[in-house]
Amino acid sequence: MDGMDNVDLQVLKTVRDWQMAGHRVVLATVARTWGSAPRPVGSVVAVRDDGQITGSVSGGCIEDDLIERVRAGRVAALHPEVVRYGVGAEEAQRVGLPCGGTMELVLETVTRASAIDALLACLAQGERVLRTLTLADGAVSLSTAGPGDVLQLDEVQLVTTHGPSYRLLLIGAGQLTQYLATMAQALDYELLICDPREEYARTWAVPGARLLPGMPDDVVRELAPDAHTAVIALTHDPKLDDLALMEALDSHAFYVGAIGSWANQRKRRQRLQEHFGLSDAALDRLHGPVGLKNGARTPPEIAVSILAELTAVRYRYRIPAPVPLDGAQGVEAGCQV
């Protein structure tokens, strides 16, 4: 897992609150998986001394076993430990894993040395953090995570990465951008907004989404999009959208999209080719109309379709074109279809 999703961030916040209230808390981190697994590597679950639980790593059976262990006080009592679930088909079925699946967890009793407060403070600033847990004594150190850092477990330590692992740059600060920025934060994107139009920038008010000054092409160039960056143009103004797309399509961004109808996309492709000299290969990377083609019409519906397509591209899935049912209507002049 390259980062930490929003669900797991909430687990850490709950762990902090439980610890402050005087509870003994055991934090479990998915360190390795083989075969089918319900949650990805890096996912966390926490159990407190009375059996209350937050987060998940399976369909519930692993959690039930952890609750029993924590209540009995027989897990991670002296130092962190590594446990494995689902080694064989019979055990995999018992703990709720798909047949043949295996999951390895690192269990640690949370103390002041766990540095949960310091980790949350860094995450609140939008930082990416490496957390190194020493298995011999439970000591924790925090450092800045680089773009290539991933979870690692060996006989000595568990190293996990926390914080946004993907960036989303949105060109335009209109109504659709507000919905998209709000929803994308739940998927743990770092949200960056660019809109040189003062009337839009002045009223931007989505907490956690940072407004960047400057023209779109300059902003994209300075950002230097990498394979963990998506750029989406949403202004409907070719003077702004085309500038951003020109730079984004020549970058390593994993996703580049633009709002607009099919007719507008054809015109945009022609402009980018004739005025900016973009190649067919670069233009073929453009997702336009942006988002899954699911009939979305309203701004929140379109935001959902965009995030669904972003998720598919991140996990390397290709969603086939939908087949409208009898009576389904397209919106030829719409923003998405």
pLDDT of the residue at 272: 93
Residue 229 lies in a domain: yes
If asked whether residues 180 and 297 sit together in one domain, one would say yes
If asked whether residues 242 and 275 sit together in one domain, one would say yes
Domain boundary among 140, 162, 184: 162
Q: Which pair of structure tokens corresponds to residue 205?
A: 């008010």
pLDDT of the residue at 37: 67
- Distances 202 to 107, 194, 205 between C-alpha atoms, Å: 47, 12, 9
If asked whether residues 197 and 145 sit together in one domain, one would say no
Domain boundary among 162, 177, 211: 162
If asked whether residues 200 and 283 sit together in one domain, one would say yes
Say how many domains are in the chain. 2
Residue 172 lies in a domain: yes
pLDDT of the residue at 325: 79
If asked whether residues 155 and 105 sit together in one domain, one would say yes
Domain CATH number, residue 189 = 3.40.50.720
Residue 334 lies in a domain: no
Going through the chain in order, the beta strands assigned E by DSSP cover 25-34, 44-48, 53-55, 81-85, 102-109, 129-134, 140-144, 152-153, 157-162, 166-171, 189-194, 209-212, 229-233, 255-258, 286-287
What span, in angstroms and rounded, lies between the C-alpha atoms of 46 and 16?
A: 11
What span, in angstroms and rounded, lies between the C-alpha atoms of 286 and 288?
A: 6
pLDDT of the residue at 245: 95
Tell me the HSE value of 308 on the side-chain side, using a 13 A CA sphere.
12
pLDDT of the residue at 269: 93
Residue 319 lies in a domain: no
**Got the DSSP string for 185-238?**
HHTTEEEEEE---HHHHTT---TTEEEEPS-HHHHHHHH---TTEEEEE-SS-H
If asked whether residues 56 and 151 sit together in one domain, one would say yes
Domain boundary among 118, 136, 162: 162
Residue 17 · residue 87 · CB < 8 Å: no
If asked whether residues 51 and 30 sit together in one domain, one would say yes
If asked whether residues 108 and 209 sit together in one domain, one would say no
pLDDT of the residue at 168: 96
Residue 286 lies in a domain: yes
Q: What is the pTM of this model?
A: 0.67
pLDDT of the residue at 302: 95
**Got the DSSP string for 31-69?**
EEEES--SS-TT-EEEEETTS-EEE-SSSSHHHHHHHHH
If asked whether residues 158 and 188 sit together in one domain, one would say no
Residue 320 lies in a domain: no
Residue 327 lies in a domain: no
pLDDT of the residue at 164: 74
State the residue range of the domain holding 83.
6-162
If asked whether residues 32 and 108 sit together in one domain, one would say yes
If asked whether residues 133 and 268 sit together in one domain, one would say no
Residue 331 lies in a domain: no
If asked whether residues 158 and 11 sit together in one domain, one would say yes
pLDDT tens readout for residues 153-184: 999 999 999 887 789 999 999 999 999 999 99
Residues of the chain with pLDDT under 70: 1-6, 36-37, 59, 87-100, 147, 327-337
pLDDT of the residue at 333: 32
